[in-house]
Amino acid sequence: MFRLLIWLLLGYIGFRIIKTLTAPKKPLSSSSTHHTGEETVQDPICKMYLAKEDAIVGTLNGTRHYFCSMDCLEKFREQLDHTHQS
Ligand SMILES: [Zn+2]
């Protein structure tokens, strides 16, 4: 009976070790968008954050807006038109 418990314990430990070894490794360094000294802007359409230098700048109604792509800029422009019409 005691022997059986030992074997069960060893089996459990072995299982845990194998599980740890086979577990997918998570990347240690997460690619953060918040670099030091780099200004981050938010796309008002898809809500994603991007570096100001990578963003597409659209000046609409005298206000500067930053977009990740031309698609988002167009969507924003459409939304503005829509709100002005109604
Ligand atoms: Zn976008």
29 near 18, Cβ under 8 Å? no
Domain of 25? Answer: 2-85
Residue with the larger pLDDT of the pair 31 and 50: 50
Q: List the beta strands (DSSP E) in the chain.
A: 40-42, 49-51, 56-60, 63-67
Is the pLDDT score of 48 beyond 60? yes
34 half-sphere exposure, CB direction, 13 A CA radius: 0
> Between 81 and 66, whose confidence is greater?
66
Q: What is the percentage of the chain residues whose pLDDT exceeds 90?
A: 58
Ligand 1 centroid distance, CA of 36 (Å): 23
**Average pLDDT, integer, range 69-75:** 96
79 CA distance to ligand 1 middle (Å): 14
Residue 9, amino acid: L
Neighbours of ion ligand 1 (CB under 5 A): 43, 45-46, 68, 72
CA dihedral 8→14→15→16, nearest 10 degrees, is 110
Tell me the pLDDT band of 82, cut-offs 50, 70 and 90.
Answer: confident
CA of 59 to the centre of ligand 1 (A): 15
Residue 30: predicted pLDDT: 53
CA 26 to chain centre: 15
For residue 47, pLDDT beyond 90: yes
Report the domain count for the chain: 1
Which pair of tokens denotes residue 11?
Answer: 């089996």
